[in-house]
Structure 1
Amino acid sequence: MTTTGLQTIIYPVKDADRAKALFSALLEVEPFVDEPYYVGFRAAGQDVGLNPNGHAQGLTGPVPYWHVSDIRARLAALVEAGAEVLQDVHDVGNGRLIASVKDPDGNLVGILQDPS
């Protein structure tokens, strides 16, 4: 199991258009994905996502996503270490898998596995 780093952060947003304008101004780029369910930016080697459904999914703030090589094994290890699953492993498109947990202090932690 390899963690390749923290490369993605996703923000739950209530107004995707306002958030898109704000992050376009901040990052000085336009989104590379602009769908009703997700808006994605890529800047300086970092992916920044906006999730209009995030609050309904229980997300209370930004979620950093650690890129891993075996998401199911890493999720099991996090649960064994005391994390609570917020979102089980699921495909968000093109074989990209994500999951998120809450640590014992209430911090949100995401894990992401790209297709091989």
Structure 2
Amino acid sequence: MTTGLQTIIYPVKDLDQAKALFTAALGVEPYADAPYYVGFRAAGQEIGLDPNGHAKGMTGPVPYWHVSDIRTRLAALLEAGAETLQDVTDVGGGKLIASVKDADGNLLGLIQDPVA
């Protein structure tokens, strides 16, 4: 089951510059501020800055759909013709992410939040 589009991750080359820009644009300070990820929560959205995104094949912002079973959803996307960019990865605290590219080069991410 998909619960919705709640997260957008931007690949960035200069994390400090991007952090300043998004702080000004969103009007909030980041809730997560680490060398590998800066995260904002604004208006019900998670906005993330990934300084390693370009190295992972991200060519622009990637929408991440929150799902209840990431492995099943990833398998369905691959069966439908998507290509894996990032296999299921635990990014901490049991949060799982994965991303794919469709035949047109569009990127799509999946997030499964930890089970309570």
TM score, norm. by length of structure 1:
0.98
Letter in 1 for 2:59: T
1:4 maps to what in 2? 3
1:98 maps to what in 2? 97
Query: Hey, what's the Cα distance between the residues in 1 that align with 2:3 and 2:9?
Result: 17
1:84 deviates by 0.2
1:40 maps to what in 2? 39
Q: Helix, strand or coil for the counterpart of 1:20?
A: helix
Letter in 1 for 2:16: D
Query: Hey, what's the Cα distance between the residues in 2 that align with 1:76 and 1:57?
Result: 20
The runs of 4+ residues in structure 1 deviating greater than 2 Å are none
Larger deviation: 67-76 or 51-60?
51-60
Query: Hey, what's the Cα distance between the residues in 1 that align with 2:23 and 2:58?
Result: 22
1:56 deviates by 1.0
1:60 deviates by 0.7
| RMSD, aligned CA | 0.4
Aligned length in residues: 115
Alignment of 1:44-63 (within 5 A): 44-63=43-62
Letter in 2 for 1:69: S
Query: Hey, what's the Cα distance between the residues in 1 that align with 2:15 and 2:37?
Result: 8
Matched-pair identity in %: 78
1:78 maps to what in 2? 77
1:55 deviates by 0.7
Structure 2: which 5+ runs fail to align? none
TM score, norm. by length of structure 2:
0.98
- Show CA shifts across 1:36-80 (max 9, x none): 000000000000000001111111111100000000000000000
1:114 deviates by 0.1
Query: Hey, what's the Cα distance between the residues in 1 that align with 2:95 and 2:25?
Result: 26
1:111 maps to what in 2? 110
Structure 1: which 5+ runs fail to align? none
2:25 maps to what in 1? 26
